[in-house]
Chain A
Amino acid sequence: MKLIYILTPLAPLFGAIAAGFFGKQLGRTNSHRVTIAGVAVAFLFSLIALFKNLGSDGAVFNETIYTWMISGDIKFEVGFLVDRLTVVMMTVVTSVSLMVHIYTIGYMHDDPGYQRFFSYISLFTFAMLMLVMANNFMQLFFGWEAVGLVSYLLIGFWYKKPTAIFANLKAFLVNRVGDFGFLLGIAAVVMYTGTLNYTEAFEAAPALQGETMELFPGAGWSVLTVMCICLFIGAMGKSAQIPLHVWLPDSMEGPTPISALIHAATMVTAGIFMVSRMSPLFEMSETALSFVLVIGALTALLMGLIGIVQNDIKRVVAYSTLSQLGYMTVALGASAYSAAIFHLMTHAFFKALLFLAAGSVIIGMHHEQDIRKMGGLKKYMPVTYWTSLIGSLALIGFPGFSGYFSKDAIIEAVHASQIPGAGFAYLCVLLGVFITAFYSFRMFFLVFHGEERMDTHTKEHLHESPGVVTVPLILLAIPSVILGAFTIGGMLFGDYFGDAIVVAPEHNVLAEVGSHYHGPLAFVLHGFKTPALYLALSGTLAAWFIYLHRPDIADWFATKFGFLHRLLENKYGFDDFNQKVFAGGSLNLADKLWNIGDVKLIDGAMVNGSANKIGLLSSFVRTVQSGFLYHYAFAMIIGLLAMLFVLSFTN
């Protein structure tokens, strides 16, 4: 098994290297063949790991592959921890990645950077697998930053586009702000537990309860709270939680396949995965959990609202991703880690589906992304239409679809939670259900139904996308429908995760929800007694009524509540604020420090000032220019050399 685990990430790495360094020699077809083969191998091995794990009562593989470094008494290792949490992530990552690889053949067909693109997405798969399979904090951080690097490269894939290279720099820097917190969290773990290894750190952590550190004189902070909040700041960057969410909508400047793979299904869920992995730590700090809960709730609600006013098809899906990540984070805060991972898994499939379907629409529309210029695409693109419908239904939580189970479980869990902020979070996630349904079907109706608003040229060329595009759509649609019903019992209410996730008894909301659980069908029926279902339905109906029958209502709303509308269109001003205060402020400060500090004070007043005063500089200049200093210097060298040489070799 060890060999299989090692080969799982290495297979895509091999593909990435082959396509990246020898892309020209291999040609386009061979490049996609070798990378797809690599990812397929990884997918196959992930399945083997999954079934082996299911069959053996969650036998955990936890071994060091090699020792990276030993410094002080601390061991830095590279190793794998494969437990039930890991195998879920491995399977999700490799299966979505495989679909995206196949889809890319069609989507990037005419792109001159074809091989480079395949190399990047395979490299991403490698990095993501290293992240989820790590058994220690250092390797986690490696994977963490490596996926960030690939995300940077892919957002800026079309490097000539000014918006793309702005977006990728922004994405990297905002992520680095998160990583800054993450690194401090890791440093806290190492300092207080003396190890980077998960298992050892988790074993040492309970002893830290009650221990405090003084961040500010006189105020003692719980060590575990500081540790967990620092780690969570990392998750806020990668999983795009308010206020570090700003990079994700801009990341849509990258090609659509990576929006699906990296910026919806996998990389952005790394933070969710990480917090679940750290559940033994987070469980010991209620403050940290509350913080997580509130941040998640705000993200779920506020980002969903922005989704309503977006007109770029990819950005609508992007804001929906942000909102859904908020749901997962809320679940983490409510200690319903399994529900977070469950939603992560179902979301990965239906959101990848929605993105790839959006990509299919974009291909059909000749790279037009404005939904106001679409409409009536149903009859031109039937496969895309039906798969989009499935994705949207899964997203809004239509009973029976995958998303229904996972989202409803989160809502129920928050409802049951007792930790501070849970009431507020419950309100946010409930409202979020209506909003999700509204923006999802607003987009759906504007794109596929109603009047055909595109120009005649585009209309003449409208047709369904090729097989390499539609087949992945269909393959992703299947789990979007059925995955939830099949896995909810084991994952949420069974003992699927075993020791991989730790929940303190007083936080165990899922057990409470689970006490009413009597199979998936009953869960669906139970939904009819909860507000969430009716909120989703009314959201859909509202979208149907407004956007297909009375578009004037939307306009009326926009003018009547102009302030609100502008607030949403400006995305609450986060971008402007960051641009002015952080970007502008930093540059301003940088300029001041340099011009006043270095140039005027240090060089101007101290160095050159004193040198000029004593006339040293001018006399030196004269000496140098007359050439004497060179002679002097050479004489010095020769003298020194002779002296040393004679000495060292005479005796």
Chain B
Amino acid sequence: MPLLSIIIWLTILGGILVLFVGDQKCRPVALAISIAAFLFSLPLYFGFDTSTAQMQFTENVAWLPSFDINYALGVDGIAMPLILLTTFINIIVVVSAWEVIEDKPAMYLASFLIMTGFMVGVFAATDAILFYIFFEATLIPMFLIIGIWGGPRRVYATIKFFLYTFLGSVFMLVALIYLYSNADTFAISAFHDLPIEANAQTLIFLAFFIAFAVKIPMWPVHTWLPDAHVEAPTAGSAVLAAIMLKMGGYGFLRFSLPIVPDASQQLSWLMILLSLIAVVYIGFVALAQSDMKKLIAYSSISHMGFVTLGMFIVFGVLDDGQSSSHAIMGIEGAMVQMISHGFISAAMFLCVGVVYDRMHSRMISDYGGVVNTMPVFAAFMVFFAMSNAGLPGTSGFVGEFMVILASFKANFWFAFLAATTLILGAAYTLWMVKRVIFGEVANEKVAALTDINQREKFMLGVLAAMVLFFGLWPQPLVDVMHASIANLVQHVTVSKL
């Protein structure tokens, strides 16, 4: 059974179906499709062979044979968890929109379903052109979501979002075409084995870097993200943070590291530097925010610093010629951080959405003492805040812990700077919680708040369960990626020059 195609096309065609069903009946249909897509993605996990780094569940159909472009899909241990995360978050997103979106709900839900199909395509594509098309295509539904259902400055935000990410990926296309001209195929695996000379490697690295650094995003090309988050509707923010950012991290793992390992090694100092700036500088910037969504957006950037740090300390860790154990831990930490951040950031944005729907304000100063009127919500908020601050026992801890352990091996000061997140992350997150949740009831609007309903309880509860599960037992997650990442580390140690 072509599972990957089924997931991709079920959501995309399902999205179109939702458009035709109309605003009245669109919600149950969308929910059914999203659940079905998730169910179809489960066999990817349970049928996954953890002993091999080879692509699994592969599909291959010739598309444009003259350029050797194929409709080729497949997953390894790096892509598969991200696909499950995507289809899982999709359900939450549909639930979150239930009675909240009154304006063109069918179109709204359709956009999310179609976007899910594209994002699964990004992670499943094993052909570079197919990847590129999916990668670009995801922009369109997100562009519409922010542009139509967004806040007052949505036009500025969408253009910034579109220009940034579009410009970034143009460079990637050039790099892909250059690689094709040498490999005579667009199969990504062929690029992995292609010998490339030093200067070309550097140029290709920079091209990929621009595309993925914007996406994930890294400092200093990050400023589109807070604006996009602030203007996006709740579910848009959730998907943006939970999935779309991960496309950048995935890109580094799938393209930059294995295709141009020597350039990656040469420029790893730059990547580490930018990652640490993300952790420290952005951590401080988050502290200065007065808008909850902006604060969480900056927190996302800071957390993504751990992802890129974990990936690029690989070379520093391998330098001493000892075992690759810490290198593997670094990249696995980066992966765990991506998955975990998918749950936590989505939950944080949904939490803001919950109170925004009631108060129509994102400003921290408009709140205070929410716990008095919304105790159940407050419990969830404190839980997710603690996860965001990396409390052990939640999934937020696992990735950061692994990356800090691994980076200590590379350099004491890398670990030192990375570990400041323990203080900064707690400071900006819990200070926000203090001002929003605790204290006396701040004003009449807060006094009139009603606690979360069953639907909201469900969506936050499911996310909390995932955060707790992977915090208490991350092995099922790490286990599936182990073979692929060990293979990747093995691969990057071999020079291509």
| Chain A interface (Cβ < 8 Å from any Cβ of B) | 66-74, 138, 141-142, 144-146, 149, 152-153, 156, 159-160, 162, 165-166, 169, 172-173, 176-177, 179-180, 183-184, 186-188, 190-191, 194, 213, 215, 226, 586-587, 589-591, 593-595, 597-598, 602-603, 606-607, 611, 616-617, 620-621, 624-625, 630, 633-634, 636-637, 640-641, 644-645, 647-649, 651
Pairwise interchain contact A159-B438, C-beta atoms closer than 8 A:
yes
| Chain B interface (Cβ < 8 Å from any Cβ of A) | 2, 5, 9, 12-13, 16, 59, 61-63, 71, 114, 133, 137, 140-141, 143-144, 147, 155, 158-160, 163, 220, 223, 281, 284-289, 323-329, 332-333, 369, 371-372, 382, 386, 391-393, 397-398, 401-402, 404-406, 408-409, 412-413, 415-416, 419-420, 422-423, 426-427, 430-431, 434, 437-440, 472-475, 478-479, 482
Q: Which residues of B contact A633 (CB under 8 A)?
A: 140, 143-144
Q: Which residues of A contact B427 (CB under 8 A)?
A: 173, 176, 586
Q: Which residues of B contact A187 (CB under 8 A)?
A: 404-405, 408, 415, 419
- 28 A-B pairs with C-beta separation under 8 A: A68-B473, A68-B475, A69-B478, A70-B475, A141-B392, A142-B392, A145-B392, A145-B397, A152-B430, A165-B439, A166-B434, A179-B422, A180-B420, A180-B423, A184-B419, A215-B413, A590-B284, A593-B281, A597-B281, A603-B223, A606-B220, A616-B163, A620-B159, A621-B159, A624-B158, A625-B155, A636-B137, A644-B71
Not counting A179-B422, A187-B419, a sample of 10 additional A-B residue pairs whose C-beta atoms are within 8 angstroms of each other reads A71-B329, A71-B402, A71-B482, A72-B332, A142-B392, A173-B426, A594-B285, A598-B223, A625-B155, A637-B137
A244 to B286, CA, bound (A): 24
Q: A69-B478, A191-B408, A648-B61 are in contact. Are A165 and B438 (CB under 8 A)?
A: yes
Q: Which residues of B contact A625 (CB under 8 A)?
A: 155
**Nearest 6 Cβ contacts at the A-B interface:** A72-B325, A187-B408, A590-B288, A590-B287, A142-B392, A72-B329
Cβ contact of A621, chosen from B9, B143, B155, B416, cutoff 8 A: B155
A595 to B284, CA, bound (A): 11
A34 to B80, CA, bound (A): 43
A550 to B111, CA, bound (A): 82
Q: Which residues of A contact B287 (CB under 8 A)?
A: 586-587, 590
Pairwise interchain contact A593-B420, C-beta atoms closer than 8 A:
no
A634 to B110, CA, bound (A): 12
A69 to B420, CA, bound (A): 24
Pairwise interchain contact A71-B328, C-beta atoms closer than 8 A:
yes
Pairwise interchain contact A215-B371, C-beta atoms closer than 8 A:
no
The secondary-structure label for the interface of chain B is helix
A432 to B382, CA, bound (A): 41
A602 to B438, CA, bound (A): 35
A165 to B325, CA, bound (A): 43
Q: Which residues of A contact B133 (CB under 8 A)?
A: 640, 644
Within the complex, the shortest CB–CB distance from B109 to chain A, in Å, comes to 15
Within the complex, the shortest CB–CB distance from A246 to chain B, in Å, comes to 14
Pairwise interchain contact A647-B475, C-beta atoms closer than 8 A:
no
Pairwise interchain contact A190-B325, C-beta atoms closer than 8 A:
no
Q: Which residues of B contact A594 (CB under 8 A)?
A: 284-285, 288-289
Closest to A616 in B: B163
A210 to B241, CA, bound (A): 47
Q: Which residues of A contact B431 (CB under 8 A)?
A: 169
Pairwise interchain contact B9-A645, C-beta atoms closer than 8 A:
yes
Within the complex, the shortest CB–CB distance from A77 to chain B, in Å, comes to 10
Closest to A599 in B: B223
A213, A594, A616, A645: which has the most chain B beta carbons within 10 Å? A594
Pairwise interchain contact B326-A72, C-beta atoms closer than 8 A:
yes
Q: Which residues of B contact A67 (CB under 8 A)?
A: 475
Q: Which residues of A contact B423 (CB under 8 A)?
A: 173, 176-177, 180
A590 to B140, CA, bound (A): 34
Pairwise interchain contact A73-B325, C-beta atoms closer than 8 A:
yes
Q: Which residues of B contact A146 (CB under 8 A)?
A: 391-393
Cβ contact of A611, chosen from B163, B326, B329, B415, cutoff 8 A: B163
Within the complex, the shortest CB–CB distance from A201 to chain B, in Å, comes to 13
Q: Which residues of A contact B324 (CB under 8 A)?
A: 72
A146 to B285, CA, bound (A): 27
Within the complex, the shortest CB–CB distance from A90 to chain B, in Å, comes to 20
Within the complex, the shortest CB–CB distance from B69 to chain A, in Å, comes to 10
Cβ contact of A180, chosen from B223, B326, B422, B434, cutoff 8 A: B422
